[in-house]
A = this chain, B = another copy of it.
Amino acid sequence: MKQIVKILDGATGTILQNSGIAIPEIPETLNMTQPDLIESIARDYAKAGSQIVYANTFGASPLKFQNSSYSYKECIQSGIVLARKGAPACKIALDIGPLGQLMEPMGSFTFEEAYDQFKEIVLAGKEADLIVIETMSDLYETKAALLAAKEHSDLPVFVTMSFEENERTFTSCTLESMAKTLEALGANAIGFNCSIGPKQMIKMVEKLSTLTSLPIIAKPNAGLPDPSSGTYTMSASEFYEHMESLVEAGASYIGGCCGTSPIFIEQIAKLKGQQIAREEVDSGGWVCSPLYAFCTKGIHPIGERLNPTGKKRFQQALLEEDLDYIVSIALEQKEAGADLLDVNVGHPGVDEVKMLPKLVKRLQSVIDLPLMLDSSNPNALEAGARVYNGICALNSVSAEKKKMQEVMPIAQKYGCSLVCLCLDEEGIPNSAKKRVELAHRIAQQASQYLLSKNDLWFDPLTLTVSSQPDQAIETLDALKELSKEGYSCVLGVSNISFGLPARQMITQAFLAQSLYAGLNLPIINVNVDRYMDTIVSSRLLLNEDLKAQKYIERFHALKAEPQKAMETLSL
């Protein structure tokens, strides 16, 4: 895969500072008060070689302008007009920065409020050629901006976040979560700007290029600021040298942030038009919270306990909106080793469309595990997926036509992985072969919604072995076939033992067998030690536990701790 190097612009603020004028509290008002200066900056960058020039709209939002004598709208519009006048041959970007508010859960600024701000900015900037969302450090705010851009504009959207040298943003978002979430939500190019210099960015661009096939943006500062003066001292030619390495590492949209000026752009413009080779990276197959992302190809237990079915206390908590109780169950599951939590609030008297997003917000405020939203109500799934901070999974669709039409667009829009039940209008087929056929039917339909193979997690369905003793093998054989075809497989394991004594015994055996057959996403009560014992053992058996590290970590002390093993007795 080839990509062509394109040149972005450098800093605006740095030039304004150097120009000697007094910079107002809202720098975007300069679009009204100093239009010639603003136009000249664009002109200088165009002359220096920029192909894309960012309009002076970075901080313009309804919120910031509420006490200004200018409107955010006129400043955004004139910012774009001035940039285009100064750089008529360039693409002009509507530049969107952070809103300057602390988002929930750290602050009180809600996802919906952020979305509304970004929506107005996007609508005001519709004369631009593209939208850039930049200098973001909060994934949640970034999602609000990207969602607003996608929903109110057809322009390409570039997104860059500001990472520290520890490869986290200021709010601790990881590289994986950033890359996978932004790609899932439909960004057209992603990368980094500000915060660090080009040298510090190299390793991150290298990593990013293994996480996405999207064009990578690198718009670093002119090195790190001098600690005493706070000014940038890197020369344009040194900047160029590092930028050359960044291009080698995979960046194809390159420019500068704080401390850079047209002479820096003039230098890096030498790289313009260069072809770079990129590896194709599989899309889909990830779920993530800002702090924690995982590819679903390995074995990952999914906690089943956030579900009111048959649980009186949980039902009561839902009806009384006692979310503390639900959070405590979530934390127990994390503690026990869950990688993902299923969240189901379906119960008579509960409005799922309201409750699911509410609970999602609450859960993600205290727990960093990704979530799997579980509802038969597509509106509830959409409401939950919308406010989820990262990539969640949706549980579930099936081969029923109506289901597919309702749920697949939600998965497409929010980049969710999708649990696909191998059943249709006729019910659950009684053979592995027919369940696999339904899986193929679902996959075909899903491709129309641009859902990739990795986005689809097939569930060949567990029947109760005491009432249908010939069906456990069919489920196992379906797992075997689906996993052979490269799909992730999900299964609610516990149903196997319904109605039998000592349910954990047979559930444990079925779990081990399912994991070998190809189940990688078991939905299970992770708080039962014997199930996690089986998962940890199976990871080692299936060569997913390098040097038996996790196995030894779990079990090395077992002999010395009889009370540990005792927990496995509660049948």
Known A-B contacts A465-B541, A548-B466, A555-B501; A509 and B534 likewise in contact (beta carbons under 8 Å):
yes
B552/A537 in contact, CB under 8 A = no
B496/A508 in contact, CB under 8 A = no
A551→B545 CA distance, assembly (Å): 32
Query: Which of B469, B508, B538 is close to A537, meaning CB atoms less than 8 Å apart?
Result: B508
- Give residues of chain A (543-571) contacting chain B, Cβ–Cβ below 8 Å: 543, 545-546, 548, 551-552, 555-556, 558-559, 562, 565-566, 568-569, 571
A533 contacts the other chain (Cβ, under 8 Å)? yes
Known A-B contacts A502-B555, A516-B513, A569-B565; A472 and B543 likewise in contact (beta carbons under 8 Å):
yes
A469/B548 in contact, CB under 8 A = yes
A466→B537 CA distance, assembly (Å): 11
Known A-B contacts A513-B541, A566-B569; A502 and B558 likewise in contact (beta carbons under 8 Å):
yes
A123 contacts the other chain (Cβ, under 8 Å)? no
A508→B516 CA distance, assembly (Å): 13
Contact with B along A521-545 (1 / 0, CB 8 A): 0000000000001101110111101
Query: Which residue of B has the minimal Cβ distance to A529?
Result: B505
A516→B480 CA distance, assembly (Å): 11
Known A-B contacts A469-B548, A540-B465; A558 and B506 likewise in contact (beta carbons under 8 Å):
no
- Give residues of chain A (46-80) contacting chain B, Cβ–Cβ below 8 Å: none
A516→B508 CA distance, assembly (Å): 13
Known A-B contacts A510-B541, A513-B513; A505 and B472 likewise in contact (beta carbons under 8 Å):
no
Known A-B contacts A506-B537, A509-B512, A569-B565; A500 and B551 likewise in contact (beta carbons under 8 Å):
yes
Contact with B along A445-474 (1 / 0, CB 8 A): 000000000000000000001100110110
Query: Which of B533, B552, B562 is close to A569, meaning CB atoms less than 8 Å apart?
Result: B562
A38 contacts the other chain (Cβ, under 8 Å)? no
Query: Which residue of B has the minimal Cβ distance to A515?
Result: B513
A380 contacts the other chain (Cβ, under 8 Å)? no
Which chain B residues border A556 with CB–CB below 8 Å?
A: 501
A509→B516 CA distance, assembly (Å): 9
A343→B568 CA distance, assembly (Å): 34
A285→B571 CA distance, assembly (Å): 38
Q: Would you call the interface of chain A mostly helix, strand, loop, or mixed?
A: helix
28 A-B pairs with CB atoms under 8 Å apart are: A465-B548, A466-B540, A466-B548, A469-B540, A469-B543, A469-B546, A470-B543, A476-B541, A500-B548, A500-B551, A500-B552, A500-B555, A505-B536, A505-B537, A505-B555, A506-B537, A506-B541, A508-B512, A509-B512, A509-B534, A510-B512, A510-B541, A512-B512, A513-B515, A513-B538, A516-B516, A516-B517, A558-B571
Query: Which of B513, B552, B555 is close to A512, meaning CB atoms less than 8 Å apart?
Result: B513
B545/A469 in contact, CB under 8 A = yes
The complex is assembled from copies of this chain, and their number is 2
Most buried by B among A496, A516, A545: A516
Query: Which of B506, B555, B571 is close to A540, meaning CB atoms less than 8 Å apart?
Result: B506
Taking the closest CB of chain B, its distance from the CB of A296, in whole angstroms, is: 19
Taking the closest CB of chain B, its distance from the CB of A519, in whole angstroms, is: 11
A569→B567 CA distance, assembly (Å): 11
B571/A501 in contact, CB under 8 A = no
Known A-B contacts A569-B562, A569-B565; A538 and B509 likewise in contact (beta carbons under 8 Å):
yes
A511→B511 CA distance, assembly (Å): 12
A143→B70 CA distance, assembly (Å): 109
A569→B560 CA distance, assembly (Å): 11
Taking the closest CB of chain B, its distance from the CB of A7, in whole angstroms, is: 47
Which chain B residues border A565 with CB–CB below 8 Å?
A: 568-569, 571
A454→B538 CA distance, assembly (Å): 31
A510→B512 CA distance, assembly (Å): 8
Taking the closest CB of chain B, its distance from the CB of A50, in whole angstroms, is: 51
A274→B466 CA distance, assembly (Å): 48
A562→B570 CA distance, assembly (Å): 9
Which chain B residues border A509 with CB–CB below 8 Å?
A: 512, 515, 533-534, 537-538, 541
Taking the closest CB of chain B, its distance from the CB of A141, in whole angstroms, is: 43
Taking the closest CB of chain B, its distance from the CB of A474, in whole angstroms, is: 10
A501→B557 CA distance, assembly (Å): 8
Which chain B residues border A469 with CB–CB below 8 Å?
A: 540, 543, 545-546, 548
Which chain B residues border A516 with CB–CB below 8 Å?
A: 476, 513, 516-517
Which chain B residues border A555 with CB–CB below 8 Å?
A: 500-502, 505
Query: Which residue of B has the minimal Cβ distance to A516?
Result: B513
A73→B519 CA distance, assembly (Å): 72
A559→B551 CA distance, assembly (Å): 29
Query: Which of B470, B472, B543, B545 is close to A473, meaning CB atoms less than 8 Å apart?
Result: B543
Contact with B along A420-455 (1 / 0, CB 8 A): 000000000000000000000000000000000000
Taking the closest CB of chain B, its distance from the CB of A504, in whole angstroms, is: 10
A497→B501 CA distance, assembly (Å): 29
- Known interface pairs A465-B548, A480-B480, A512-B534; 5 further A-B residue pairs with C-beta atoms within 8 A, sorted by A's residue number: A472-B542, A500-B555, A501-B558, A502-B559, A513-B513
A258→B501 CA distance, assembly (Å): 55
Query: Which residue of B has the minimal Cβ distance to A542?
Result: B473
Taking the closest CB of chain B, its distance from the CB of A372, in whole angstroms, is: 24
A172→B568 CA distance, assembly (Å): 44
